[in-house]
A = this chain, B = another copy of it.
């Protein structure tokens, strides 16, 4: 399946869909971060709205349930003054690829401007973007194990807010790399933005075989991997992965890889702790760490709205421009 940059960028290199970090250069990632910076203030105003996308229709096209992610996109759309349509599509109604396309064509015919797609199958958002009509943007809100690019961007935004610059940073990503749709996006973004070192800390059973090719340093020992890092990104442990003997037990996982105050002491004294949520307290990390002074986990949630506003408004801008070029 082609996932080249040409699908998400138009002829002049502008973002028309947002599917993956793959193929986006530092300038484009920085533009998204800078745009989000402008929106971060909107959420803190008394009137939390800007009229940028008034009259636009953003459809949340969720093929798997995720109230949390859907809510952040709904709020982002509403703060841009767009109308937001929530469509939960059961797997049964779209068992044939043909039917998915018919659903898409119908929504396009209703003049929906943007689809925010969540799907259990890797590549689903790419498939929809490839078949979307001109003028319609697609955002990947998580496709299988593949990518969750707005989560990766909000992580970058959080790091930049706290650390100022990416150069010189050491960042550790800890946990279930194998099943994470976030980890791959994060590694790509961190390397593109120029951090000096990305470390991956995971048990052997939760590390994909291609890990070494991603430009990371691999650790299987938590205490060793966390030493002197500036940023610790904890991944969520999907409890359903425990079956199949990939992991001995939650207790054992916590003993080996759980982030405690004691372990965190080995990191840089100014290190920040991140997690995409929801946290399994006592599994991925101790409550003291989750609620402690180093934790920026709730700021990630706040910044997530600003980042999604940035991505939606940039794409709507590109698509509007495209529409006018087509007319002119």
Give the distance to chain B from A103, nearest Cβ to Cβ, in Å: 8
Bound-state CA distance A302–B57 (Å) is 14
Cβ-defined contact, B55 with A298, below 8 A: no
Report A65-88 residues with CB < 8 Å from chain B CB: 67-68, 71-72, 74-75, 78, 83, 85, 87
Bound-state CA distance A36–B71 (Å) is 31
* A162 interface residue per 8 A CB criterion: no
**Residue interface bits A113-130, CB-to-B below 8 A is 1, else 0:** 000000000000000000
**Residue interface bits A50-61, CB-to-B below 8 A is 1, else 0:** 000011110000
The verdict on A301 contacting B106 (CB below 8 Å), with A43-B111, A55-B49 known, is yes
Bound-state CA distance A43–B279 (Å) is 43
Which range contains the number of A residues in contact with the other chain?
A: 35 or more
Bound-state CA distance A132–B48 (Å) is 19
Interface of A is mostly: helix
Cβ-defined contact, A57 with B75, below 8 A: yes
Residues in B whose Cβ lies below 8 Å from that of A67: 87
* A326 interface residue per 8 A CB criterion: no
- The residue on B at minimum CB distance from A111 is B43
* A244 interface residue per 8 A CB criterion: no
Give the distance to chain B from A151, nearest Cβ to Cβ, in Å: 14
* A278 interface residue per 8 A CB criterion: yes
Cβ-defined contact, A55 with B47, below 8 A: yes
* A105 interface residue per 8 A CB criterion: yes
Contact of A281 among B98, B305, B323 (CB under 8 A): B98
Chain A residues close to B by CB (< 8 Å): 43-49, 54-57, 67-68, 71-72, 74-75, 78, 83, 85, 87, 98-99, 102, 105-111, 277-279, 281, 287, 298-302, 304-305, 320, 323
